[in-house]
Chain A
């Protein structure tokens, strides 16, 4: 069985204007829409496309998080994942611990490919994929905008500061997705019904033998400094004059 494992993180929807709680203990989550991390939706879409082209037999969606993360796994199953695993974890888990938990699942499930997002849009860490690849001692192809699988190799085009870089990796490997890799499909109603029958296993960090003792502590959250709204100018001439006065043009 040739398998692709994808990471599905439950995060605050990217359309929500995130606000810091007045006491600085976190951000407001009550009544806030939660979704699959957008980069993980792209990871899942890519895995589905590879399976549909015959490059894999099974797509396995994995989430670490609260019980409610089952909602996002159900959405992943409705999109087309074959199977899902929730690793229950109470507190937010640090990237290294997430990578250690994923490694346990990787050892059990022996995927040919792991596809994760390039970053989770809540912690914005951009760490888990690289860490998993290191612990697994396998290649990483981060920030992917094109993936081509040929047998036991993948050619991956990466969005880097200089432009586009292409690397070749032996499988198994870890790929992390950038925004332009694909456009995720919409979930159709019949698929939501079908997804209810697909297997969703629940385990937890302790059962995997992973210690999630945090090494980093968030002391507080603060709102970012706000920029002052400036002035509206009436014409191009007025704009250029203002910029000239400030020595900017």
Chain B
């Protein structure tokens, strides 16, 4: 049997949607028994939510006020202790998982497979490299613990209806004091979350200013969509960093992705490959974004956005 430990990401007492996707990935491993680890101050609600994910056999709840807000240096020694006896330790390819999992792997002396997009066997996985320009099939030597991060855009979240047992456990690991949380500034928004939204409207450098970027936000609101941005738009200050889509931003898989005034650099495209339908609006008919767009519209965004709105 493959015993798989999934590290739960959570904040504000809520389980992150990435956890159900990691569980899906874990269940794709043959003969899997899936355990979710919740490290939290209290964690009751988070553990209960994890226990409801279909396919989860067990939830381990480790209570420690030092675990929130999450700091990799504090969580890693606890996860490494919990990992004893598990064949695989999985976390999401979110900034939480990317920060934490390699630290866990190093403590275990284990290799890490980053951004698993498909499971081929208990030790063989597919993952994107070179900004998604190539897909590598990697195989780990069997017989040692394997750490992996899960490319969340590649997996549907496991459904609900489960009723796993929640076990409160203690781990005995010295925790460092060398790293301290100071603050987090998260923009409050009523819009859907970029990583889970069914529709995303993204704007690029062509918007030209923060004020103009409001056109993207307005269209997104009309469609009940999340807002995304290219790196150029974020660098220029038109949109906050958490909206960046791409190789070094968020990798997303919405039903509908609308790229407005975005050229379609490879680093951007790698973030939207899994979108069901891509729409591109660009005044340059030669823009590379049109190579991947299901629907392309050539023209000036400043006249086209109002025209689209008038059609809705």
Contacts and interface: CB of A to CB of B under 8 A. Distances in A.
A229 B141 contact: no
A27 B311 CA distance: 46
Nearest to A222: B135
A228 B291 CA distance: 8
Interface in A131-189: 131-135, 137-143, 145, 155, 158-170, 173, 178-180
Interface in B3-60: 11
B231 A179 contact: yes
A233 B107 CA distance: 54
B114 A249 contact: no
Contacts of B141: 215-217
Contacts of A169: 178-180
Given A163-B186, A163-B187, A94 B111 contact: yes
Given A216-B138, A227-B278, A130 B106 contact: yes
Given A122-B130, A227-B278, A236-B304, A165 B183 contact: yes
SS of B interface (majority): mixed
Contact of B112 (A119, A127, A132): A127
Contact of A166 (B99, B102, B183): B183
Given A125-B112, A135-B106, A161 B176 contact: no
Interface string B282-312: 0000000011111111100000100110111
A229 B223 contact: no
B124 A219 contact: yes
B205 to A, nearest CB: 15
Interface string B218-261: 00000100000001001100001110000110100001100000
A179 B236 CA distance: 12
A220 B136 CA distance: 6
A218 B136 CA distance: 6
User: Which among A145, A228, A236 has the highest number of chain B CB atoms within 10 Å?
Assistant: A236
A162 B184 contact: yes
A248 B256 contact: yes
A246 interface: yes
Interface residues of B, number: 88
A224 to B, nearest CB: 5
Contacts of A145: 241
Contact of A164 (B180, B185, B304): B185
B248 A134 contact: no
Nearest to A163: B186
Interface in B123-174: 124, 128-141, 144
A206 interface: no
B182 interface: yes
Contacts, number: 249
Given A130-B99, A216-B139, A168 B180 contact: yes
B135 A221 contact: yes
A119 B185 CA distance: 24
Given A219-B124, A243-B279, A163 B295 contact: no
B216 interface: no
A229 B293 contact: yes
A127 B290 contact: no
Contact of B256 (A20, A236, A243): A243
A239 B295 contact: yes
A61 interface: no
Interface stretch (B70-78, B82-90, B207-215): B70-78
Contact of A219 (B101, B112, B138): B138
Contacts of B268: none
Contact of B130 (A27, A128, A178, A243): A27
B103 A133 contact: yes
B182 A155 contact: yes
16 contacts: A17-B266, A20-B133, A27-B134, A118-B248, A119-B248, A122-B130, A124-B247, A126-B114, A139-B178, A140-B72, A170-B178, A219-B124, A222-B135, A224-B135, A231-B296, A239-B279
Closest 4 A/B residue pairs (Cβ) = A236-B307, A230-B294, A134-B106, A130-B102
Interface of A: 12, 14, 17-20, 27, 94-96, 99, 118-119, 121-135, 137-143, 145, 155, 158-170, 173, 178-180, 215-224, 227-237, 239-243, 246, 248-249
